Amino acid sequence: MATEPSKSKEPKTSLTDLPFDVLALVFPYLDARSFLALCATCRGYQQNIRLDAAYWRHTTRTNFRVPNRPAVESDGERWQRLCKRILTQSRVFTWGSNTHACLGHDDDDHGTAAGANPVGRRPAARRRLGFSVSTWPVEVASCRDMGVIADLQCGGWSTTILNSRGTVFTFGVIDGMIPTRQVPAVLPTVLEFPPGYPRAGERDEPATAIRQFSSGRSHILGLSDSGRIWSWYDKTQPALQVKTLHVDFTENSTSRSSRSNVRKVVAGWNQSSAYVNGTGIAVWDPVRRGRDQQAQELDTMLVIETAIVPNTFYQRPKGLSREPDHQTRLIGEAVGEVTNYIVLESFVVFVTDIGKVFAAKMHFENGSGLIRLPVELRDLHVTSPTDPTPSATDIQGAFRSFAVFKRDGSVLLADHGCLDDIYPPPGALSPPPLAERIKRYPALQNTGVTTLAFGDHHFHALHADGTITSYGTEPQSCGALGLGGDGDPEGRLRGIRYLGRMRDGQLLPQAYETGRRVWFEPEKRQWIRFMASGGRDPDEAKERLRMTVNDPVVQGEVSEWFEQEGRDWDRRPGLPGAADGDEDDGLGAYFVLNVAAAGWHSGALVLVNEGLASRVRDSCIVPDPTTAVEEADPSSSSPQPQGPLASALSWLTNSARWFLGLPTRADEAANPPQEQQPLPFTDPQMHGASPGRGLRYVWADDAFPRLRLRDGREMPGEVGFSEWRFGRPEQGG
């Protein structure tokens, strides 16, 4: 009997058999929980897909409106951690000049913030000029009620914040030149829309939910989910919708995921702009209502004169599409597609997908504008003199300064003066080569810089490890660098020299070698205050203190020693273990998500791991045995020491106070504070030795550092020489 041949079984197709390109098309439709569940089904997925950068970047930016950072867009682990922490840990900190209350906190916050000026310090000159300052980052407490913070930017007189629902808040005033109805207020102001539109934050309305915004010197631009452009110049007035006569801003209002032809808006120093697909970079004068135009009567402004930056329209063909014509193909080869751009005071500077950087000069007068043909800035994007390959990846800047990021990790800085020379007037002498005027600060080279934020005279660098370094000058010691001191000793120990009648704080050249980090830990501020007071023995340290104040070379090395000692406090040995549910994901206690600067102030969006920060704080405080002895002796009616030793200590501390610029006992007697009596200088709370009675900081017995200097000198003193935590830098100052 013949048997029927068995039918061959067709192999089953498994999900793991699908190529990654197909899976990548599915990932954006999964929420984070579903994505992680999928990855848990297979070891290969767990190892190769769980930290997919494209998925986590898309999820984080879609859910929280976080702006992209080209320097870290391929770091999947970083985006995954941010997505997890930003929901509950985002905090806003600001510092610098508090003109028009642009920092979002009042003067009382300065006194209660750890690291603020000790009670009884001599008033700083700038306070008599009519504005207050914060020289350390201070948290803006009201921002905790705004929901998840997605982005933060600074304007000339304002700090503006975007939350994950697309609502925009601002502190200060948008235009400080308007004599004004814009009354400064500590509480945030919600930027509203014209009558007939939903109030900001009431519901997810694509026409008014802002997905990206830009803060200029005196106006703010917002791009809504539907692609509508809104402009604010006065926080008391609703926004104006911007339309142009010659450029079509196509809008799609069907859903949040819709995309119009407007890719990005940028509010420059004194111009508005947008990148429009197929058209290029469009620039126009900021819109304002006339004096006789009421908000109820005018909700849209038609811009008649719009200037287009030449050769910025090109878009790289996708799929099977081809170049429309030969001329377009030539533009694609010579210029490329714009990937990012900035608007400075008189120039538009942009970077393209082929690694090139271009600049075009703007001429705007009486509402009409002209933009000259862009000039390629080869010295800013070539790899090396022997390798002409363009290598620029990003451009960032404001006002008169900008920076170019390159593929090799280097960051080059330039300014308006460099750009003016690319359009020399007829008959002018040849300017010096651009390559000779570019700045390459060692602290910015291959250190993971993701963002550079520029103020008028200072700037900050945000690094991939979540730290900020500061550079430049803080006018009138306004605290814009965020390095502390308030014009007094702490700032000197961070590397700031205070010069001239207005006490401008200028960062030393040595600080550009390794950078000076902005500290968010309150304990570090108490530590640097203790050291600025002379450590455990001010008299023994007075000659070293004098050298530090008078000799910039010594000050530079001492500031570097303090910079090294201040690093990695949340990773040092002896830190208490984590409690249940207190997860340490490697980002540290304070991880900066974004930094902003403008004018004389700065701000940062920071992810704060409260559990880890608390453990760091607890590790710095121990019981004070001397207080325990005093309390055990009932015959001791006063905590102050008596006898010859007390007299000697009093003389030494009074001399130290005079040397450090602090009020002496005679000053205090002649000018007693109006609100509260200062603590005696000998009280440990006064100079960072103790957080309160019965407690002391672990550094209370440390001496002011004594160093062997790079030039062979040895700092005087009776204590041993201090060691370098990470080795003494060998670079020249």
Q: Are 271 and 285 in contact (CB under 8 A)?
A: yes
Same domain, 203 and 123: no
List pLDDT tens digits, range 668-679: 444 544 444 555
Same domain, 251 and 345: yes
List pLDDT tens digits, range 99-155: 889 999 876 554 334 334 433 343 343 443 456 899 999 999 999 988 889 899 999
Same domain, 135 and 174: no
Query: Is 9 among the domain residues?
Result: no
Query: Is 631 among the domain residues?
Result: yes
Residues contacting 463, CB < 8 A, separation 6+: 447, 448, 449, 450, 469
Residue bearing the bigger pLDDT, 729 or 595: 595
Residue 648: band (very low, low, confident or very high) from pLDDT cuts 50, 70, 90: very low
- Report how far apart, in Å, the C-alpha atoms of 446 and of each of 416, 590, 683 are: 25, 22, 45
Same domain, 415 and 360: no
Q: Is 720 helix (H, G, I), strand (E, B) or coil?
A: coil
Same domain, 188 and 65: no
Q: At what angle do helices 522-532 and 610-619 cross, to 10 degrees?
A: 30
Residues contacting 214, CB < 8 A, separation 6+: 153, 220, 221, 265, 266, 267
- Report how far apart, in Å, the C-alpha atoms of 7 and of each of 4, 101, 106, 261, 628 are: 9, 81, 82, 56, 90
The pLDDT assigned to 723 comes to 94
Could you give the CA distance from residue 94 to residue 565 in angstroms, rounded to a whole number? 24
User: What radius of gyration, in Å, describes the C-alpha atoms of the chain?
Assistant: 29
pTM, entire model: 0.84
Range of the domain at 306: 147-315+317-352+356-364
The pLDDT assigned to 122 comes to 38
The pLDDT assigned to 323 comes to 84
Q: Is 565 helix (H, G, I), strand (E, B) or coil?
A: helix
Residue 6: band (very low, low, confident or very high) from pLDDT cuts 50, 70, 90: low
Nearest to 410 by CA among 431, 434, 441: 441
Query: Is 379 among the domain residues?
Result: no
The pLDDT assigned to 393 comes to 95
The DSSP bridge partners found for residue 459 are 454, 471
pLDDT tops 60 at residue 15: yes
pLDDT tops 70 at residue 180: no
Percent of the chain at pLDDT > 90 equals: 53
Query: Is 373 among the domain residues?
Result: no
The pLDDT assigned to 382 comes to 87
Strand arrangement, sheet containing 272-276: 262-267, 272-276, 280-284, 307-308
List pLDDT tens digits, range 338-377: 999 999 999 999 999 999 999 999 998 876 789 999 999 9
Same domain, 179 and 82: no
The pLDDT assigned to 430 comes to 75
Same domain, 127 and 232: no
What does DSSP assign to residue 346? Answer: S
Q: Is 21 helix (H, G, I), strand (E, B) or coil?
A: helix
Same domain, 130 and 215: no
Query: Is 370 among the domain residues?
Result: no
Query: Is 655 among the domain residues?
Result: yes
Cα angle 80, 81, 83; round to 5: 65
Same domain, 252 and 118: no
Per-residue b or e along 119-131, where b marks 16 or more CB atoms closer than 10 Å to that residue's CB: ebbeebebeeeeb
- Report how far apart, in Å, the C-alpha atoms of 707 and of each of 401, 494, 508, 710 are: 37, 16, 18, 9
Could you give the CA distance from residue 91 to residue 606 in angstroms, rounded to a whole number? 5
| Positions of E strands within 570-694 | 590-598, 601-608, 621-623
Same domain, 571 and 440: yes
% helix, strand, coil for the chain, step of 5: 25, 25, 50
The DSSP bridge partners found for residue 135 are none
| DSSP one-letter string for 67-110 | PP-GGGTT-HHHHHHHHHHHHHHEEEEEEEE-GGGTTS--HHHH
Could you give the CA distance from residue 261 to residue 240 in angstroms, rounded to a whole number? 19
pLDDT tops 70 at residue 184: no
Query: Is 117 among the domain residues?
Result: yes
Mean pLDDT of 326-345: 95
Same domain, 668 and 729: yes
Could you give the CA distance from residue 169 to residue 192 in angstroms, rounded to a whole number? 9
Q: What total of structural domains would you count in the chain?
A: 3
Same domain, 639 and 611: yes
Query: Is 126 among the domain residues?
Result: yes
